[in-house]
Amino acid sequence: MLTRRIIVCLDVLGGEVVKGIRFESIVSMGDPATLASRYEADGADEIVLLNIAAARDDVRVLLSTVRRTADRLTIPLTIGGGIGSIEQIEAMLVAGADKVSINSAAVSNPSLLTDAASRFGSQCVVASIDARKEKFGWRVYTHGGRMLTTLEAGGWAEECAARGAGEILLTSIDRDGTREGYDVDLTASVADAVDVPVIASGGAGGTSHIIEIFESSAAQAALVAGIVHDGSCSVREIKEVMRRQSIPVRMIA
């Protein structure tokens, strides 16, 4: 069985890490580079840095934060939020990112995934999908969860993978920030539909939720944010519980 990853997400607004509930009610949590370094020391397998002001701010405001954060890390760093062109993807990679997460731009221009994978390799391309439960299933939203599309989450994930995305970052808008647990049904349906790793995101409230998502779906990684930012639990504690539950995980000394 493949080792499962614990990925810490840093939502960034105005150069600071913030956290919200269902993409709203934003509060400040600290400096991105400092927090990323702390989480690596605690055992995080990767860091995801998302610019949540992307719909309003120029992507270039991210570059200094990316450089500062990448300089502090040896683990992979993924950058996302408002990235909509090959030139912007390249800029993030040159600044130190290992992967780039693409969401709204991929929906409006799916060939961006194909072009990015062809130029930089699938390992650099993460398709970010924000989904909410609607009457007829899980529908994809863009622009920070504000714009409903006609896309169904599983089908869109399949297309993203077929176009070259090396991973799917799947966020449940319904569960985001609620600490009620990941959306297991959504995650399982998407993970079963694709042959690339799926990262479960949205809703982690404690170690039991992380155990649940790994035992109840084929998710390869779990994204955490608020529960480690406020000290409810640490990455080290999460991984120790996973180890005791016989879930393959990378431990640190």
130 is catalytic: yes
Q: Which residue, among 220, 161, 164, has the nearest Cα to 188 in the 3D structure?
A: 220
CA distance 155 to 143: 19
* Euclidean distance between CA atoms 109 and 114, whole angstroms: 10
From 31, 45, 130, 183, active-site residue: 130
| CA gap 92, 195 in Å, rounded | 26
b/e 158-184 (16+ beta carbons within 10 angstroms → b)? bbbbebbbbbbbbbbbbbbbeeebbbb
Q: How many CB atoms lie within 10 A of CB 147?
A: 13
Contact status, residue 79 vs residue 120, Cβ threshold 8 Å:
no
Which tokens in the block code for residue 18?
């913030």
Burial of 42 from C-beta contacts in 10 A (0-12 / 13-18 / 19+): middle
Verify whether residue 31 is a known catalytic residue. no
Report whether 157 contacts 170 (CB < 8 A): yes
Catalytic residues: 11, 130
